[in-house]
């Protein structure tokens, strides 16, 4: 069966930007703002789609992902630390540190689970393709638990609408894994492959999110695609972007019916940037499919 492709005018560049690595997009329903980060740029952004205004907040370190807090403000992962950050006051509170014994590791992507716990993982930098990373769970009382080891570039994480399944990307295993998820204890079981990307096509899986129908949207970096997998791991449709490195995605808008997509320009050559000048920008696609609202950290 042919896979439906969304492209061209149906993919809007809503913010032309030159982010080095635009990541961790997340929609704040009450503020009606899209938050996102530029990892290498050490920036948190807050974008208003209604007027096109993008506010920028500078951090003293790499900022690799973000989550909202029920108490207000943000929970961030920096290079090796969790931190609370209030964009409006500029207050930054450093929390737990990980992997001090691994100087070349850093945090990458992360997401809050349905019970308000924050999950974030590490990767080798620059050894992206080595099994040196770990996946951590950060609870509301700031207890830190290592949940998985030997990770090859920890990336997109999300949960099924019923909260019983967790999806987790290891970019350079070229796979999205799925676990049985115990919501009461926050434990994982029965790891198995959900979907794989053939490395011969020149792509690897990156950020992901799950819509209200239980389908998985996954960025494929290198070929500028976001694919929608059905719950059995079959590609149901895909979005083709005008940039090769679309790295993060999240649902937002008043009806949660818009998929926002961030992109990167890291390691691209001058010729590649000339061919894809919108690299580093933010895109939006209206899909006729609703997403799930972002959960907030319960601490």
* Residue among 246, 209, 204 at smallest CA distance from 225: 246
Residue 160 is encoded by which pair of tokens?
Answer: 């099924």
DSSP character string of 200-258: GGS-EEEEEEEBTTS-EEEEEETTTEEEEE-TTS-EEEEEE-SSS-EEEEEEESTTS-E
64, 156 contact by CB (below 8 A): no
pLDDT at position 1 is: 61
CB atoms under 10 Å from CB of 63, counted, come to 27
Exposed/middle/buried for residue 49 (C-beta within 10 Å: 0-12, 13-18, 19+): buried
Catalytic status, residue 206: yes
Domain spans in the chain, listed from the N-terminal domain onward: 4-286
**Partner residues linked to 138 by β-bridges:** 118, 144
Sign of the torsion angle spanned by Cα atoms 58, 61, 67, 69: negative
pLDDT at position 3 is: 87
Cα atoms in the Cβ-side hemisphere of radius 13 Å centred on 259: 32
> What is the DSSP-derived secondary structure letter of residue 134?
E
C-alpha distances in angstroms, 299 versus 118, 138, 219?
10, 10, 29
CATH (residue range 4-286): 2.120.10.30
Q: Which of 206, 211, 254, 298 is catalytic?
A: 206
* Residue among 128, 129, 147, 216 at smallest CA distance from 176: 216
Percent above pLDDT 90 for the chain: 98
pLDDT at position 2 is: 76
d(Cα 20, Cα 280) in Å, to the nearest integer?
Answer: 6
Element (H, E) at 270: helix 270-275
| Coil/strand/helix, residue 276 | coil
* pTM, rounded to two decimals: 0.97
Say which residues have a Cβ less than 8 Å from residue 133's Cβ, sequence separation at least 6: 105, 108, 121, 122, 123, 124, 150, 151, 152, 153, 154
d(Cα 59, Cα 43) in Å, to the nearest integer?
Answer: 6
Mean pLDDT for each consecutive 10-residue tract of the chain (299 residues)?
A: 88 98 97 98 98 97 98 97 97 97 96 98 93 98 98 98 98 98 97 97 97 98 97 97 97 97 96 97 96 97
Residue-wise pLDDT tens digits, 167-194: 999 999 999 999 999 999 999 999 999 9
């Amino acid at each position: 069966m042919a896979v439906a492709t969304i492209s061209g005018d149906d993919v809007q560049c809503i913010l032309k930007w030159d982010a080095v690595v635009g990541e961790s997009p997340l929609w704040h329903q009450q503020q009606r703002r899209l938050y996102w980060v530029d990892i290498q740029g050490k920036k948190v952004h807050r974008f208003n789609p209604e007027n096109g205004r993008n506010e920028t907040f500078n951090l003293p370190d790499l900022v690799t992902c973000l989550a909202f807090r029920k108490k207000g403000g943000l929970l961030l992962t920096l290079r090796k630390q969790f931190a609370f950050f209030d964009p409006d006051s500029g207050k930054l509170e450093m929390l737990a540190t990980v992997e001090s014994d691994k100087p070349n590791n850093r945090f990458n992507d992360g997401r809050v689970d349905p019970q308000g716990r924050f999950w974030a993982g590490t990767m080798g930098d620059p050894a992206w393709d080595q099994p040196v990373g770990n996946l951590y769970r950060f609870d509301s009382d700031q207890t830190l638990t290592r949940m998985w080891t030997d990770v090859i570039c920890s990336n997109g994480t999300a949960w099924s609408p019923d909260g019983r399944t967790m999806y987790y990307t290891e970019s350079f295993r070229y796979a999205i894994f799925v676990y049985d998820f115990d919501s009461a204890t926050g434990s994982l079981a029965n790891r198995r492959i959900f979907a794989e990307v053939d490395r011969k096509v020149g792509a690897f899986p990156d950020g992901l999110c799950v819509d209200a129908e239980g389908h998985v949207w996954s960025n494929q970096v290198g070929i500028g695609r976001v694919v929608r997998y059905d719950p059995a791991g079959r590609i149901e449709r895909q979005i083709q972007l005008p940039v090769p490195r679309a790295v993060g995605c999240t649902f937002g808008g008043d009806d949660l019916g818009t998929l926002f997509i961030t992109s990167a320009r890291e390691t691209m050559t001058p010729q590649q940037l000339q061919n894809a000048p919108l690299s580093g920008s933010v895109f939006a696609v209206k899909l006729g499919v609703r997403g799930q609202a972002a959960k907030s950290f319960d601490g």
